[in-house]
Structure 1
Amino acid sequence: MKVIALIENKAKGHLKSEHGLAVYIEYNDKKYLLDTGKTNKFSENAVELGIDLNEIDVGILSHSHYDHSGGYNVFFSKNQKAKVYIRKEAKELCYSKLGPLKRYVGIPKGILNKYSDRFIYIDKDYKIDEGVWLISHKYNNLESKGKKAHMYRMSKYGLKPDDFKHEQSLVFETKEGLVILNSCSHIGIDNIVKEVKKTFKDKKVLAVIGGFHLMGIIGPSSMGPTKEEVEFLGKSLTSLGIEHVYTCHCTGTPAYKVLKNTLGNKVEYFSTGTVIEF
């Protein structure tokens, strides 16, 4: 299994970066694309990295935010075969709200209708291929997570705190254990690991990859939770038996530094161009 960051907030060498995330995965002779970042930059990096988007077999959208779905126009123009798996709750409804100020942060308007034949809407847990799964959130009352993160979804009654039912985890089975990818982990990466462990009973979780949404309201240069809360998260991942933690994007720089101090060599930053092999 090979995992490569096609776009992320930071970049190696001459590769492009942006506040977004797109991940390329090779597994059992198939090629997968998780998200497409905020713009078309992921596709330019793919060329630099020798990755042909036309060869992608399967696409997955982790959740309904613009910084993960902004590149679908270019992806569908380059790839004519891959279907993209999204949750049935994935709609153009997501907003951020701070006091009276609100901002649309959802999937670019019109994408879902324009490419309606390319998206596959799924419910509950779903097996894509042998050893490849999409895992839904099982926790109740997740609206409290949305409210704390200032994230909302438009309803017929107006804006309601996001319950993140549009978010999903991508899980691969390897001989050494499960590899979990969740691009923003809005309900908490520790809770996501617990969801996966409950679904795959008696299976070890080898690694987690993705953003942990620990940044503050002004972005990746800030930190939302306290230092003690981030340290507790790091210790929780250790207690859950996680051997490798690759984080990026919405985790933010201050929180990453705390995690690094807590987890040491167990955690690495997953910047654009990073290659992981299991």
Structure 2
Amino acid sequence: MKITILLENTKLKDSNFSVENGLSMLIEKDSFNILFDTGGPEESVIKNAVEIGIDLSKVDAVVISHGHDDHTGGLLKFLQINDKAPVYLKKEALNPHYAKFPDGEKQISMDDKITQNYANRLKFVDKITEIAPGIFIIPQIEKKFPIPSSNQVLFEKQNENLVRDTFKHELFMVIENDNDLIVFSGCGHTGIKNIVNTTKNMFPNKKLDAVIGGFHLQAGSLNYAFAKVEEIEDMAHWLKEEVAGQIYTGHCTGERGMNIMEPILNDKLERIYTGMKIEL
């Protein structure tokens, strides 16, 4: 299995990639190509695919982890390029979503043009769904552990009122690689511990070899919306025990979160960046 990071918040200094706050990964597994999230509204994913030489028209399926625009921003342009790939997501991902700051609020929803022009491409998932052999979308996340405290600035609109986001719009993906499992998380708003725990409960006899994606330990670059240090340390110790192989993370995990986790996870932790290639 080959994974290409088409967008993460960072890049190598000598690269020509476009970066913005967001995440997108191309996963190639047994000739089946999945675009997991589509990055931010500046459409950096589309530009970076061209830079790398990836033909997005050949993608077989898109998986949208949740309805925020830093993960759905490139979807409209993708649908104009690719006329075949179904888009798997939760129906709640289409709801209005907001980030609330001391100086006001910002809408961070999916582009309305997606449902207006490409509704027939959207495939809503409400139960575990195998989209290709060994590739599973998991829409129901068991909440055994608390969700990240850094979610405090995120809201959804219900009956014209803003209420705290419950993240019913979030899903994740699991791929069987040989006999092991690889977990893909967008932001992990419902908590990466809950995502990993759900995976282990659903596949009790499989080894969890790697986790890839964001852990939402901070809200963008906001210095008042960080997860607590003890919360991050607890998560790192837990992941060290529960994940047999590597932990690849970035985006909303943030530099601060990774610096706190690094002494605990050591070489088990790998920071992802735009253009990075991973082979598992």
TM-score, length-scaled by structure 1: 0.92
Identity within the alignment, %: 34
Mapping for residues 158-237 of structure 1, pairs under 5 Å = 158-216=161-219, 218-219=221-222, 224-237=226-239
Assess, with a 3 A threshold, how the Cα gap between structure 1 residues 271 and 263 changes in structure 2: closer, same or farther.
Answer: same
Per-residue CA distance 1:92-123 (angstroms, 9 max, x = gap): 31112246832211112332222111111111
**8 Å contact kept, 2:43–2:73:** yes
- Deviations 1:197-230 (CA, angstroms, capped at 9, x unpaired): 11112211110000110015644x7771232321
Q: 2:75 aligns with which of 69, 72, 75?
A: 72
Q: CA deviation at 1:40?
A: 1.7
Distance 1:228 1:166 in 2: 27
Query: Shift in Å at residue 138 of structure 1?
Result: 3.3
Partner of 2:94, secondary structure, is coil
After TM superposition, list the pairs within 5 Å mapping 1:140-151 onto structure 2: 148-151=151-154
Which 4+ residue blocks in structure 1 deviate beyond 6 angstroms?
141-144
- Which structure carries more helix by proportion? 2
Counterpart secondary structure, 1:224: coil
| Aligned residue number for residue 26 of structure 2 | 24
| Residues 152 and 225, structure 2, Cα contact 8 Å, conserved in 1 | no
- In the alignment, is residue 11 of structure 1 matched against residue 8 of structure 2? no
With 155-164 and 3-12 compared, the bigger mean Cα shift is at 155-164
In structure 2, what is the equivalent of residue 83 of structure 1? 86
Aligned residues: 277
Shift of 1:62: 0.8
Q: Which moved more, 1:135-144 or 1:241-250?
A: 135-144
Shift of 1:143: 10
- After TM superposition, give the deviation of residue 127 of structure 1 in Å: 1.2
CA distance in 1, matches of 2:146, 2:227: 18
In the TM superposition, residue 145 of structure 1 has moved relative to its aligned partner by 5.7
TM-score after normalising by structure 2: 0.92
Structure 1 spans left out of the alignment, 5+ residues: none
Query: 1:143·1:162 contact (CA, 8 Å) conserved in 2?
Result: no
- Comparing 190-199 with 87-96, greater Cα deviation is found at 87-96
The CA distance in 2 between the partners of 1:223 and 1:208, in whole Å, is 24
Which 10-residue stretch deviates more, 21-30 or 39-48? 39-48
Deviation, 1:21, is 0.9
Cα offset, 1:248, TM superposition: 0.7
CA distance in 2, matches of 1:41, 1:88: 25
Which segment drifts farther, 183-192 or 133-142? Answer: 133-142
Q: Structure 2: 5+ residue runs without aligned partners?
A: none
The 2-side partners of 1:98 and 1:222 are apart by 10
